Amino acid sequence: GVSWDPTAGSSGGVLGKLRRKQGTDLDLIAVAMQGGDPVRLAGLDSLDPMGNGSLLHSGDNQTGHGDGDDETVTVEFARLPSA
């Protein structure tokens, strides 16, 4: 999994608004390969690309708020389809 802390804003007032940093959105993906070629992508809007639960993405966390991993990819190798 992956975890990150929310980006802190700047000071208040007009100058603070001008200097305010945009937040960070770190996206975790997994690419399933076959014979050196990418065949499926887990992440973003594809949470179960194999359709059988063998490769699962937890979903897109855009803020980084909360404890623990913000995004995870789970792989059950025994359930992956064979070539």
Please state the domain count of the chain. Answer: 1
Measuring CA to CA, which residue among 70, 83, 77, 27 is closest to residue 52?
77
Whether 5 maps to a domain, the answer reads no
Whether 8 maps to a domain, the answer reads no
The domain that holds 55 is classified in CATH as 2.60.60.30
Q: Does pTM surpass 0.75?
A: no
Structure confidence at residue 50 (pLDDT):
95
In order along the chain (83 residues), what is the average pLDDT of each group of 10 residues? Answer: 58 59 77 93 93 93 79 93 78
Whether 1 maps to a domain, the answer reads no
Measuring CA to CA, which residue among 50, 44, 35 is closest to residue 71?
44
